[in-house]
Amino acid sequence: MQSLLELLRSNGPLVILAVAFMETLGVPLPAFPFFVLAGCMIVEESLYWPPIIVAAVAGTMAADMLWYWLGRRLGRRALNLLCKFSLNPDACVGRSEKIFYERSSAVVLLAKLIPGLNTLIPSLAGIMGMKPLRYAALDAVGSLIWVGAGLSLGLAFGRNVLSRLASVQRTLFLLLAAMFGFYVLFRICYRFYLTHRFSIPRINAEELQRKLASDTGPLILDLRNNLDYSKSDHVLPGARRIPPADFERVADSLPRGKEIVLYCT
């Protein structure tokens, strides 16, 4: 911890820019604790606050604008790439799209404060066609809110925190390492559980057509994401539309004795 404090004292803006950029890019390195620590060091006057704020916002916006550009160029593939790191990628995409559809401006402003949305919203903004200048302005304000919250915590408790960090640094590092290892192991195990517990057989178009022609045809659920559904000119006859994010809510109301075919992207 002492070496980290010295690194911040000697290269504070550069360190803050790097961690803000990496977290926003998707690297599992939380930047918020660095903002809090920087706020603590501003209290003791070992850091000057304007360069810290500029560096944090610049690093955040650089990664955000990269994901925004990838969203505009790659479309939903950029969002799928991000959601592969989620425990449930399909639900991740569906929930993110639903939230953005409902309140796009507010979501961009507050995305940094909502776990799981930090790296998803920039790509969604690009996919949904939000104007670059509008997105950049909202993202700048949202980044300032995020950075300001961390610095404010450091400013409020700075003098009490720094004096105690050195004595607990070994315990703190061991605890953080254990928590990170448990988190990674949990993600792997839970993903394995979801894949094997809820995997279902596939059906091709010809077999589905034969089933639909019978007297007891299956119930078809159209689970395509909102973006693909709104842009599509075709729907399967008799299909019931359910956005992916709403599936859990309506699952109990589905008929128990009827064969169900899920149609998704």
Last residue of a domain, one of 143, 174, 197: 197
Q: Are residues 63 and 167 both part of a single domain?
A: yes
pTM > 0.75: yes or no = no
Predicted pLDDT at 87? 45
Range of the domain at 209: 205-263
263 in the Ramachandran plot: left (φ > 0), alpha (ψ -120 to 50) or beta?
beta
Burial of 220 (0-12, 13-18, 19+ CB in 10 A): buried
The beta strand positions in 85-211, using DSSP E, are none
Predicted pLDDT at 182? 75
Residue entry with tokens 């078809």: 220
Predicted pLDDT at 56? 95
State phi, psi for 200 to the nearest 5 degrees: -130, 155
Distance between CA atoms of 22 and 16, rounded to whole angstroms? 10
Q: What is the DSSP letter of 130?
A: -
Answer yes or no: are the C-beta atoms of 67 and 126 closer than 8 Å: yes
Q: Are residues 61 and 191 both part of a single domain?
A: yes
Q: Are residues 149 and 223 both part of a single domain?
A: no
- The residue ranges of the chain whose pLDDT is under 70 are 1-4, 76-102, 115-117, 158-173, 175-176, 179-180, 183-184, 187, 190-191, 193-200, 226-227, 245, 265
Predicted pLDDT at 16? 93
Q: Are residues 131 and 236 both part of a single domain?
A: no
Q: Are residues 247 and 172 both part of a single domain?
A: no
Of 243, 255, 4, 205, nearest in space to 100 by CA: 243
Q: Are residues 51 and 122 both part of a single domain?
A: yes
Cα–Cα distances in angstroms (integers) from residue 58 to residues 25, 52, 66, in the given order: 13, 10, 12
Of 149, 136, 78, 64, nearest in space to 105 by CA: 136
Last residue of a domain, one of 176, 197, 218: 197
Q: Are residues 230 and 193 both part of a single domain?
A: no
State phi, psi for 154 to the nearest 5 degrees: -65, -40
Q: Are residues 240 and 175 both part of a single domain?
A: no
Last residue of a domain, one of 149, 178, 197: 197
Answer yes or no: are the C-beta atoms of 125 and 69 closer than 8 Å: no
Q: Are residues 120 and 228 both part of a single domain?
A: no
What is the tally of structural domains in the chain?
2
Spatial neighbors of 71 by CB under 8 A, at least 6 apart, are 78, 79, 122, 123, 124, 125, 126, 127
Q: Are residues 143 and 16 both part of a single domain?
A: yes
Q: Are residues 147 and 64 both part of a single domain?
A: yes
pLDDT per residue as tens digits for the range 147-159: 999 999 888 876 6
Q: Are residues 85 and 188 both part of a single domain?
A: yes
The beta strand positions in the chain, using DSSP E, are 219-222, 240-241, 260-263
